[in-house]
Amino acid sequence: MILKQALLGYQSLNDIVIYQNDNSITLYQLMEDLIYLDKKLPKHKHLLNLYENRYYFILSLLLGIKRQSMHLFPSNTSAYTFKFLTQEYTDILTLDKTVPKYKHQDENKLNHIDIEPLLKSKKTATQETVKQYLAIFANNAYYHKDTIIIFTSGSTGTPKPFAKKLSDFITVAQQLKTQLTLENNPMILATVPAQHMYGLETSIMMPLINGLSIYEERPFYPDDMARILAKQTRSSLLVTTPIHIRACLKTQTKLTHLQQALCATAPLDEQMAQIFEDEQEVSLIEIYGCTEVGVIATRHPAISQEWTCLDDIALVPSSENSVDIQTNRSINVFTLNDHISYISNKTFMLHGRKSDMINIAGKRNSLSYLNHHLVNYKHLSDGCFYQPDHLEESQQRLVVFIVADKYHFSIQDFKHYFKTKVDSVFTPRHFYFVDKLPRNKTGKILHNEIKSLYQQLSINH
């Protein structure tokens, strides 16, 4: 029996959707669990799906789609975020193993349930009932309604909500698979959370819509990635970030059974991409996109700096310094937040975010470019630049946060290294040594958190 629903593109009920440690879950078993949960869980208007485990995430996602509830995907799970959600949205069903406990939090508004123990007492479903549920996901009427509200990361300020339709994800999933030229239906292994736009599109929607299998665990350390991949008998597609790529290179971890790797969330150094490709013997493809639009373009950084848009994206110069994209997705038209060199309506060069640009002593540069040279300095584990926003223009200088052993890190050696890379006016004035940086699950540093860190440390500096 050939299925090929637009949202669940599997050929057979026996196709494997999820791989676990020593087990696998077929489409039929997935539908059985979904049918059981649909009977057991209370009705709701909004769904807050916080599972890191991709199997429980997918069950929760499909449950919300079947019930036509609105999914909420915040960029983090801080106390402020929970307070914001309960103030802005009503009748929220929260699905996760646990919900963080915060003082003054109204837990009744979040109505928390863990579906994992519920499934231990599940009942089987008939093939007829399974087919009826599958038909729901083939219903075209579902695809053109707002289904998901996803929030920006807040890396440049306050997170903002953007509503998405399932048709947006279907468009991206189908075009992305074609542009990546995937072969032999690889298994998807992702180091990024499913709630993030990049993770949702590439590690959840793309495999579901194209009938690919997914590994349920989200590994973080290179050894965990290597352990999972070594057990596979089929090729895999790794969905990851520059932080994880860099970690694999530093630890010299060999990743086996890889067909291809995808990378996003921060600029990827071309030299680092080339070294990764040489060591792992796979192609590393970079994804360019944003929460507002989704995946926009891809490039092969070891070969070319030029980006190529997906088929439904057209670039239109709107002014001397701005480029709009036009698309048939929900947003239709969007002005890119990055500095773009327009080549054609399908190709461009990327030079960093507009909000990322700094001007010191009349010289311009981007924080992303400076951070690129910073983290590639071999004597530190992590780091980032910050420009205090309360100083007079004549006093503007950068500070830098360093994750390294301060007794073995030479500031003078770093300054010498840095001056060989960029103009000396961008050499930091103050160095702050910290145990770790406030990165979110995709490796981004949020503007408000790094500002707060600076305010705390600068008092005693």
Pairing, β 187-190 against β 236-240: parallel
Longest alpha-carbon distance in the chain: 74
- pLDDT tens track for 442-456: 777 777 788 888 888
Backbone angles phi, psi at 38, to 5 degrees: -60, -30
- pLDDT tens track for 226-279: 999 999 988 999 999 988 998 999 899 999 999 999 999 888 888 889 999 999
Q: Cα dihedral sign for 266, 271, 272, 278?
A: positive
> What whole-number distance in Å separates Cα of residue 114 and Cα of residue 56?
9
Residue 1, pLDDT score: 37
Give the other-Cβ count within 10 Å of 422's Cβ. Answer: 14
> What whole-number distance in Å separates Cα of residue 338 and Cα of residue 75?
21
- pLDDT tens track for 378-396: 788 888 888 886 544 435 6
Give the other-Cβ count within 10 Å of 17's Cβ. Answer: 24
Which residues, other chains included, contact 322 with Cβ-Cβ below 8 Å and sequence gap of 6+?
A: 335, 336
Mean pLDDT by 10 residues, the chain (461 residues): 68 95 93 95 95 97 95 85 87 88 61 93 88 90 90 66 94 93 91 94 97 96 96 93 91 95 88 94 95 95 95 89 90 88 92 70 73 82 81 62 85 87 83 88 76 81 58
Residue 355, pLDDT score: 63
Least Cα distance to 330 among 109, 162, 80, 83 occurs for: 162
Interior/surface letters 371-386, b for 16+ CB within 10 angstroms, e for the rest: bbbbbebeebebbbbb
Q: Cα dihedral sign for 195, 200, 202, 203?
A: positive
> pTM score, two decimals?
0.83
Q: Do the beta carbons of residue 10 and residue 211 sit within 8 Å? A: yes
Give the other-Cβ count within 10 Å of 1's Cβ. Answer: 8
> What whole-number distance in Å separates Cα of residue 8 and Cα of residue 173?
11
CA distances from 175 to 126, 172, 209, 304, 327 (A): 35, 5, 11, 20, 13
Question: Three-state SS across the chain?
Answer: CCCCCCCCCCCCCCCEEEECCCCEEEHHHHHHHHHHHHHHCCCCCEEEECCCCHHHHHHHHHHHHHHCCEEEECCCCCHHHHHHHHHHCCCEEEECCCCCCCCCCCHHHCCEECHHHHHHHCCCCCHHHHHHHHHHCCCHHHHHCEEEEEECCCCCCCCCEEEEEHHHHHHHHHHHHHHHCCCCCCEEEECCCCCCHHHHHHHHHHHHHHCCCEECCCCCCHHHHHHHHHCCCCCEEEEECHHHHHHHHHHCCCCCCEEEEEECCCCCCHHHHHHHHHHHCCEEEEEEEECCCEEEEEECCCCCCCEEECCCCEEEECCCCCEEEECCCCCCEEECCEEEEECCCCEEEEEEEHHHEEEECCEEEEHHHHHHHHHCCCCCCEEEEECCCCCCHHHCCCEEEEECCCCCCCHHHHHHHHHCCCCHHHCCCEEEECCCCCECCCCCECHHHHHHHHHHHHHCC
- The residue whose two tokens read 């509200």 is 149
* Token pair recorded at residue 150: 């996803």
Give the chain's mean pLDDT.
Answer: 87
